[in-house]
Structure 1
Amino acid sequence: MRCNLCSIEFATEQHHTIHDLENHSLKCVVTQYDGQKVTLMRTDGEFCCPQCQKPFCSKSGVRSHLARQGCKDEEPSSDPPRQAVTIPEASPATLMLPTPSTEPPRGHDEAVLFACQRQDASELDKIATLGIVHFLGLSPLTVKDSLGVEQNALAHPDGIKRLYIGALQSPVTVPNTNKRKLMADSVCQKCSPITIPSLESVFAFSPFCSVLRTRTFVELTESICCLLNEDWNFQPQHRYGCAQMLAGCLLVNTTNGHAVLANTVEVYGRTSMVDAHCEPFGLKKGVAIRTSHPRPSAAFYKDVWPSTMFSATEGERLVIGTQSFDALVTSSIRLDVRDQGSVGAVTGNFRLTSEAESTATRIYLDKESLDM
């Protein structure tokens, strides 16, 4: 508590009240040495003795002066007395000692997210972070500071082993990033090659990564494309072989990173001579009906064309078209996000809305289905 007139600090309100009455009251009733009571008024912040005109700042000072004998013999002092300063009572200081942490150690995934500062991120971001760290082959490193608080960092397992084998001879430092920044700026963006998401990157970001890594997938080759385009009039057994080959295949849209697993497919011949349920084609109101027939602009695979066919009565259908048949995906599930899956002819969880997306879509076959 601070006095508003002299800015002196006080520990309690009682000390402040006593100080205010002693040093800042306007009048003071005192008793002289002869027993006579006198009322003094404060002038210019001081009480003056009625006998010798000696100034005093507080009541107690002028009272003790008048109570003594021989006040008339004292000469008034030219120097004002020093003002008494009241020292506030200070409470004893309490030293807060740090308490060692007793929290249990973090698990593998928790340590990775702490090292990347992604504890408060969404579930999708956490899954992506764990997938990237797993793809890079990094492992979390655990150290404890002087208070016993766990800290985590990421390093390669070989580097962690070397740290365990040899003691640290110098403090941990952060490498300078200026050289790396100059190297990145020196690359022309127009001359940089287009990066296409690989199957490994799809697995790394997928919430079903552990399940997908138990399977082996093979991308469509030129020989497989030729096999899928064999004429059913001469090779009728391919009706069953093509359905078996495409079962369990992966479709990856490289333009946006969307990926889908086609669990089951139904194949239909191109013409009514080989299949009564073939895809309709021809003209409708003078306009050619859009079909799943392969386009000449196919980039990755010759005569293999994945696309989404829309019908007002049947909805959106995911179809893989070749010269000899079209395969309708009847059961699928998204791989890049956690999805409930789609069952039936309508596939709404994976769309190829333009020829550019169909051209940029890659197809991977399950090796087990291919070997059958």
Structure 2
Amino acid sequence: MSPYAATRRQLQHIKMAAALCEMINKDWCAYLNFPFASAKLLPGSILFNTENGQAVLVSTVEMFGRTNNADIYREGFGKLKGAVQTTSLPPTTIKTMYPSVWPVSLQRSDGQKPVIGTEVSNALVTSCLRIDSKETPVVGSMSSGFNFSTINTSLSIKIFLDRESIDRCLEMAEVLITSTNTRINILMLEH
């Protein structure tokens, strides 16, 4: 039993639904409020590895856009010193547990970084707490023994979202009604 069972019972978690997967994959350039709405969805979520029973409670995430137009600090792609760089872009050749959402650990020069990738963005987990065992909380983007760096491990991760975070995300998505900042973006999207 989790050492945090009493705390965990105070929260209400729901398995990530396809509608929320679709929502967090909306184009950031066309829906200017969705980077903010997406950032509200993942804090408080639980990532559960069905292979080994490990689980983490995500405390904070940092969102990055997938393209240079959406975010100049986007995740890098391509080759890295002669090898193909692993990315958080959801695979298209295999059926994933969540449509266009891919939890993965990315190996970088400073260690393994847990990331939840979508087609339009990725969420770097910047703070988390193992809830299946008693460990010190991790502040920063390093994953404390919770690693999903293989395809099979990524496929085995279940994402449970905090009900309050879902409500905050949906509220943010509805409140801001601006869909674009210029007519140029709309014209470019239509072609």
RCO comparison, higher one (Cα < 8 Å, 6+): 2
TM over 0.5: yes
Q: Is 1:371 matched with 2:172?
A: no
Aligned to 2:38: 242
Cα 1:272–1:248 change in 2 (3 A) is same
Mean alpha-carbon deviation: is it higher for 263-272 or for 293-302?
A: 293-302
Counterpart mapping for 1:343-354 below 5 A: 343-354=139-150
Secondary structure of the structure 1 residue equivalent to 2:22: helix
Q: State the match for 1:39 in structure 2.
A: none
- Which structure 2 segments of 5+ residues have no match? 169-191
Give the aligned length.
167
Looking at structure 2, the residues matched to 271 and 211 of structure 1 have their Cα atoms a distance apart, in angstroms, of 38
Q: Equivalent residue of 1:364, what SS?
A: strand
Identity over aligned residues, as a percent? 35
CA deviation after TM superposition for structure 1 residue 316, in Å: 1.0
Which of 85, 98, 107 is equivalent to 1:289?
85
Decide whether the 8 Å contact of 2:96 with 2:102 is kept in 1.
Answer: no
Note if contact 1:282-1:288 (Cα within 8 Å) is conserved in structure 2. Answer: yes
Q: CA deviation at 1:217?
A: 0.6
Q: Give the alignment partner of residue 362 of structure 1, picking from 158, 178, 183.
A: 158
Counterpart check, 1:305 vs 2:105: no
Matched with 1:195 is: none
- Per-residue displacement from partner, 1:37-64 (whole Å, max 9, x unpaired)? xxxxxxxxxxxxxxxxxxxxxxxxxxxx
Q: Counterparts of 1:96-107 in structure 2 under 5 Å?
A: none
Higher strand share: 2
TM value normalised by structure 1:
0.44
Q: Superposition pairs for residues 30-41 of structure 1, below 5 Å?
A: none
Q: Distance in 1 between matches of 2:97 and 2:165?
A: 21
Cα deviation for residue 308 of structure 1 reads 0.5
Q: Larger Rg: 1 or 2?
A: 1
User: For the Cα contact (< 8 Å) 2:86–2:107, is it kept in 1?
Assistant: no
Unaligned runs of 5+ in 1: 1-204
Residue in structure 2 matched with residue 338 of structure 1 by the alignment? 134
Secondary structure at the counterpart of residue 278 of structure 1: coil
Equivalent residue of 2:158, what SS?
Answer: strand
C-alpha displacement of 1:348: 2.5
Query: Which one-letter code corresponds to 1:338 in the other structure?
Result: K
Describe the superposition over 1:45-93 as per-residue Cα deviations: whole angstroms up to 9, x where unpaired: xxxxxxxxxxxxxxxxxxxxxxxxxxxxxxxxxxxxxxxxxxxxxxxxx
Which residue is equivalent to 1:261?
Answer: 57
CA RMSD of aligned residues (A): 1.2
Q: TM-score w.r.t. structure 2 length?
A: 0.84
- Cα offset, 1:285, TM superposition: 4.9
